[in-house]
Structure 1
């Protein structure tokens, strides 16, 4: 993964991001020597979101199959989550 500084971004603008993303899927921006932000193109971001949603769906199916869920009415649910 490639890294640029906030100062490089300030002086070179978006082109420094575009050029780096041609070679890497993600780009780390550092501020005062510390990694602060990750930039990626939308295609890669959408892929990661899809992976995240697939993992959540897999977890929900697993919970359902193992019986690890609660069936309750709205009032009982609100009471349980606010206590």
Structure 2
């Protein structure tokens, strides 16, 4: 994963990001020597979001298969959720 400093970003602007994303999907921006931000193009971001949604779907399907769900009325659901907060 490529890394640039916040100062490089200040002086070179978006070209610093674009040139580094050519060779990698993600770019870490450091501030005072510490990794602070990650930049990526929208295509890679959308891919990661899709992976995240797939993982949530698989987790939900596993919970359903294991019987980890509740069937209730809307009113009872609101009461249960409100009491858990």
- TM-score normalised according to structure 2 size: 0.92
C-alpha displacement of 1:42: 0.9
C-alpha displacement of 1:40: 0.5
Root-mean-square deviation (Å): 0.8
State the distance in 2 between where 1:17 and 1:79 align.
Answer: 49
Count matched residues. Answer: 83
Q: What's 2:77 paired with?
A: 77
Q: What's 2:32 paired with?
A: 32
Q: What's 2:62 paired with?
A: 62
| Contiguous gaps of at least 5 residues in structure 2 | none
Detail structure 1 runs of 4+ shifted over 6 Å in the superposition. none
Q: For residue 60 of structure 2, give the secondary structure of its aligned residue in structure 1.
A: helix
Q: Alpha-carbon deviations, 1:30-79, whole Å to 9, x = none?
A: 11111111001111111111100100111111111111101111221111
| Contiguous gaps of at least 5 residues in structure 1 | none
- TM-score normalised according to structure 1 size: 0.94
